[in-house]
Amino acid sequence: MSGGPSRPIDDATYVVGIDLGTTNSALAWAEPRAGRTVGVFPVPQLVADGEVAARSTLPSAVYLAGEHDVGAGALALPWRADERFAVGVHARRLGARIAGRLITSAKSWLCHGGVDRTAAILPWGGSPDAPRLSPVDASARLLEHLRDSWDDAHPDAPLASQQVVLTVPASFDEVARELTVQAAKSAGFGSLTLVRIFPESVWNALHIPWHVTQGMGDHFFFMWLFALNGIAYVLYSANSGEWRFRFKTWRGSREFRSST
């Protein structure tokens, strides 16, 4: 499923995968023309007032600061001035002090059909004087941070010019998927592709060893499982250097190979 026409890989330096997680978010990259390496981007973020450090993941937390709870300028980043909000490690720490200003689990709210997901309802049950964001806008803040931190580290390869894949759970319905695309567009992303990620039970049903998804397995070094039009697909690369594309339907499966 796509949030717009996918950018041709020949026009992009990197293929970038983003996991917008409920608890943590992460960004991984590959540079196809330079080899088979898949790397994790260490995300620069506030870890204390005025202190920026890179971490392998970005906690999916947004803290909406008040007038007096955080000092002026303490939430500035290398790419923006203090806009009275924080994302990531420091947001989570500030929220432990004043919970009524902390937004977490924005991803879960995107698939909550019982609320208006475009209304400013978060933090749910927060401080009366706290600013509010919609689940879409809170998700956009997380994605915007990933985009800005990447762009700051890669001025010659901004994220909007790369081939971006954004993962969503298989449980996301059409509305939740469209809202995710809306959040990405609000965060300044260009064309992107949504990939539905399946739980372990589906891997087992497809008779695929689950351990290979936990890192560099004995048989594969990279693997994705996703769905399109009701068919489960697996894209992986074997140690032999061949990319393999497998799909599974109720009537069986087929496999195609393409040497790198």
pLDDT tens digits for range 27-86 = 988 887 887 677 889 999 999 999 999 999 999 999 999 888 999 999 999 999 999 999
For residue 153, what are the domain limits?
Answer: 9-197
In a domain, 95, yes or no: yes
In a domain, 231, yes or no: no
Domain count, the chain: 1
Q: Which residue has the higher pLDDT, 129 or 229?
A: 129
Residue 197 is predicted with a pLDDT of 63
In a domain, 147, yes or no: yes
In a domain, 184, yes or no: yes
User: Residue 67 belongs to a domain with what CATH number?
Assistant: 3.30.420.40
Amino acid (1-letter code) at residue 201: S
CA 76 – CA 79 distance, rounded (Å): 8
Task: Using the predicted structure, report yes or no on whether residue 259 has a pLDDT greater than 50.
Answer: no
Task: Using the predicted structure, report yes or no on whether residue 96 has a pLDDT greater than 70.
Answer: yes
Quote the mean pLDDT of the chain.
Answer: 78
For range 20-30, the mean pLDDT: 89
With contact defined as beta carbons under 8 Å apart, do 78 and 33 qualify?
no
In a domain, 208, yes or no: no
With contact defined as beta carbons under 8 Å apart, do 187 and 143 qualify?
yes
Residue 178 is predicted with a pLDDT of 93
Task: Using the predicted structure, report yes or no on whether residue 237 has a pLDDT greater than 50.
Answer: no
β-pairing, 15-19 vs 163-169, is parallel
At residue 193 the predicted structure's pLDDT band, cuts being 50, 70 and 90, is confident
In a domain, 211, yes or no: no
Residue 163 is predicted with a pLDDT of 86
CA 159 – CA 192 distance, rounded (Å): 10
In a domain, 249, yes or no: no
pLDDT in tens, 197-233: 655 455 455 444 433 343 334 433 344 444 444 444 5
Residue 170 is predicted with a pLDDT of 74
Q: Render the chain in DSSP notation, one character per residue.
A: -BSSSPPPGGG-S-EEEEE--SSEEEEEEE-GGG-S-EEEPPEEEEEETTEEEEESSEESEEEE--SSSS-TTTT-BTTB---SEEESHHHHHHHHH-GGGEEE-HHHHHT-TTS-TTS--BSTT--TTS--B-HHHHHHHHHHHHHHHHHHH-TTS-GGGSEEEEEEETT--HHHHHHHHHHHHHTT--SEEEEEEPPHHHHHHTT--GGGGGSS-SSEEEEEEEEETTEEEEEEEETTSEEEEEEEETTEEEEEEEE-
Q: Is 213 exposed, middle or buried (0-12, 13-18, 19+ CB in 10 A)?
A: middle
In a domain, 258, yes or no: no
Residue 67 is predicted with a pLDDT of 84
